[in-house]
């Protein structure tokens, strides 16, 4: 593989990450015209079209998608090898991370105030989505996930665990009454989180399980929080996701004396044991934040 091919491959990967020739050119410090010519040379060498070009969008062809899946990890490996050889301890490059919206919302103040300013050479791309993305196929470096993780062939690093809370708005509780025990939850309306299309049950630490009646169902943690604040029912959520609402009086903790199990938080990646510095630093940062949320106040 010649130097020109390697350069064309790197350009291809950057264009896919950026979403357009123009954005890719900005990242590489060149022009869209130069990017277009580099991609054209690569396509000619491969004998296939990598992109479907239209006036409105730039999309990968089936061949382009397959090529990206195979080659993106190789480009990352080259960058990581150069990083190690330089002995460069500055976090740099691009880090693509996906995590649930409610967890991302809770982490964003610390990311903006502490993590990003500490690593000015790093470009952080953060996707807040409750769906489980395919890291390799969709080109993500890390997934931060709360809850049990199915065996996916990815490497998992535990980051800690977070408590759950049952919460409802003051208006809902004033109208419907405050549950006195877990069994009373069966007579209430709930805003339910959908996991793989099915409502997530309420489990207590003593083994009690409640399958709540739904008044509003969603697969979005943020929508769940807003529905609870709006008085649609009782919600079962991460404590950190509703901490501000509880502190502000928008939500009230229901059955505070009945213990709910904690939820494990993990980082998933496909780097095996050779996780690059930028990914290690972000994982360490999230682990520190999760630990701070659960650490008793001094």
Over range 227-247, report the average pLDDT.
95
Over range 277-297, report the average pLDDT.
87
Question: Which pLDDT does position 192 carry in this prediction?
Answer: 95
What is the C-alpha radius of gyration for the chain, rounded to an integer number of angstroms? 23
**Count of residues making up the chain:** 298
Greater model confidence, 272 or 241: 241
Question: Which pLDDT does position 274 carry in this prediction?
Answer: 67
Q: pLDDT, tens digit, for every residue of 29-58?
A: 788 888 888 998 988 888 999 988 765 567
Q: Measure the CA–CA gap between 165 and 235, rounded to whole angstroms.
A: 8
Q: Measure the CA–CA gap between 289 and 285, rounded to whole angstroms.
A: 6
Q: Per-residue pLDDT for 122 more than 70?
A: yes
List Cα–Cα distances, 179 to 170, 182, 183, 189, 261, in angstroms: 13, 7, 8, 11, 19
Q: pLDDT, tens digit, for every residue of 158-177?
A: 999 999 999 999 999 999 99
Q: Per-residue pLDDT for 208 more than 80?
A: yes
Over range 235-256, report the average pLDDT.
96
Same-fold call for 93-159+265-294 versus 162-262: yes
**Which CATH architecture describes the domain 93-159+265-294?**
3-Layer(aba) Sandwich (3.40)
Question: Which pLDDT does position 130 carry in this prediction?
Answer: 83
Q: What burial class does residue 190 get, using C-beta atoms within 10 Å of its C-beta: 0-12 exposed, 13-18 middle, 19+ buried?
A: buried
CATH topology assigned to domain 3-85 = Arc Repressor Mutant, subunit A (1.10.10)
Greater model confidence, 293 or 170: 170
Question: Which pLDDT does position 238 carry in this prediction?
Answer: 93
Residues 86-92: contacts with CB under 8 Å, at least 24 apart: 88/277, 89/277, 90/119, 90/121, 91/119, 91/121, 91/122, 91/277, 91/278, 91/281, 92/119, 92/121, 92/122, 92/278
Over range 224-249, report the average pLDDT.
96
Over range 174-196, report the average pLDDT.
93
Q: What burial class does residue 20 get, using C-beta atoms within 10 Å of its C-beta: 0-12 exposed, 13-18 middle, 19+ buried?
A: middle
Cα-flanking dihedrals φ and ψ of residue 252, to 5°?
A: -125, 135
pTM of the model: 0.69
Q: Which CATH superfamily is domain 162-262 in?
A: Periplasmic binding protein-like II (3.40.190.10)
So where are the chain's domains?
3-85, 93-159+265-294, 162-262
List Cα–Cα distances, 289 to 149, 196, 279, in angstroms: 20, 28, 16
What percentage of the chain exceeds 70 in pLDDT? 88
Q: What is the mean pLDDT of the chain?
A: 86
Reduced to 3 states (helix: H, G, I; strand: E, B; else coil), residue 123 is strand
Q: What is the 3-state secondary structure (H, E, C) of 10-74?
A: HHHHHHHHHCCHHHHHHHHCCCHHHHHHHHHHHHHHHCCCCEEECCCCEEECHHHHHHHHHHHHH
Over range 256-285, report the average pLDDT.
88
Greater model confidence, 8 or 167: 167
Greater model confidence, 70 or 137: 70
Q: pLDDT, tens digit, for every residue of 133-163?
A: 777 677 788 999 988 776 566 788 999 999 9
Greater model confidence, 19 or 211: 211
Q: Per-residue pLDDT for 245 more than 60?
A: yes
């Amino acid at each position: 593989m010649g130097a020109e091919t390697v350069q064309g491959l790197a350009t291809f990967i950057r264009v896919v990450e950026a979403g357009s020739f123009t954005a890719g050119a900005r990242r590489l410090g060149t022009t869209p015209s130069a990017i277009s010519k580099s991609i054209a040379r690569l396509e000619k060498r491969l004998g296939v079209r990598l992109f479907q070009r239209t006036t409105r969008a730039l999309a990968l062809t089936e061949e382009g998608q397959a090529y990206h899946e195979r080659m993106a990890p190789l480009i990352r490996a080259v960058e990581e090898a150069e990083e190690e050889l330089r002995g460069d301890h500055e976090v740099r490059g691009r880090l693509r991370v996906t995590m649930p919206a409610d967890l991302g919302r809770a982490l964003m103040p610390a990311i903006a105030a502490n993590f990003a300013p500490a690593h000015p050479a790093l470009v952080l791309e953060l996707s807040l989505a409750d769906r489980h993305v395919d890291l390799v196929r969709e080109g993500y470096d890390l997934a931060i996930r709360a809850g049990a993780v199915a065996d996916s062939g990815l490497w998992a690093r535990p980051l800690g665990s977070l408590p759950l809370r049952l919460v409802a708005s003051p208006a809902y509780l004033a109208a419907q009454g405050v549950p006195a025990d877990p069994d009373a939850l069966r007579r209430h309306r709930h805003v339910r989180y959908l996991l793989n299309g099915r409502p997530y049950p309420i489990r207590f630490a003593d083994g009690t399980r409640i399958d709540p009646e739904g008044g509003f169902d969603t697969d979005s943690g943020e929508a769940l929080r807003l529905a609870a604040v709006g008085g649609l029912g009782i919600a079962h959520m991460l404590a950190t996701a509703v901490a501000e609402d509880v502190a502000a009086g928008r939500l009230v903790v229901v059955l505070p004396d009945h213990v709910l199990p904690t939820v494990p938080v993990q980082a998933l990646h496909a780097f095996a044991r050779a996780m690059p510095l930028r990914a290690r630093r972000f994982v360490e940062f999230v682990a520190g934040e999760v630990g701070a949320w659960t650490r008793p106040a001094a």
